Amino acid sequence: MFLRQLDYKLFNFVNGFAKRWRWLDYCGIFCAVYLIWFMAVAAFVFFWYLPTRINRLRYLFTLFASTAGAYIASAIVGFAYGRARPFVDLEGTRQLITTSFFHKSFPSSHATVAFALAFTVLWFNRPWGIVMLILATAVAWGRVFVGVHYPMDVAAGAILGGVVSYVMYRIIM
């Protein structure tokens, strides 16, 4: 019960800044919807900076396995848990993007995949990985800001993405 109350309070705090300043709304929408695609491109660009062909192949396999595995794990957990999105549950949610209310909220698939990408890069290169983790955090913030996820949804996605990425890294390496 305490966690749910905290979740609602954090959501209302972050989402409460939506529709106040147009520039912040654009930033939130960019982070929530488009930033994950830039992360994917950056992860592929990083592929060319690895020193050997063996490392490149291992990285590529880990990247694909991590992102696909994270997405599938997110779908399975979401099917089992079935939490409604904030704009369905809470009155007064400031929703900036449209998404189906039939889709699950917990865990956030965007956050799960973003953190799987970020952690995969981190296992191979710490500086690039830290930058990717910052970008993944921006994706997670954006999903809450635009009103489609609770903070616990994106936190669970971050954990799930990190765990799946680590398991795939350990299997492939």
Rounded CA-CA distance 114/129 in Å is: 12
How many domains does the chain fold into? 1
Is there a domain that residue 127 lies in? yes
CATH of the domain at 47: 1.10.606.20
Is there a domain that residue 57 lies in? yes
Per-residue model confidence as pLDDT tens digits over 46-92: 888 887 777 888 999 999 999 999 999 999 998 888 787 888 777 77
Is there a domain that residue 117 lies in? yes
Rounded CA-CA distance 165/70 in Å is: 7
Per-residue model confidence as pLDDT tens digits over 16-53: 898 899 999 999 999 999 999 999 999 999 888 887 77
Among 90, 87, 94, CA closest to 17: 94
Q: Which domain holds residue 100?
A: 18-172
Is there a domain that residue 4 lies in? no
Is there a domain that residue 1 lies in? no
Is there a domain that residue 13 lies in? no
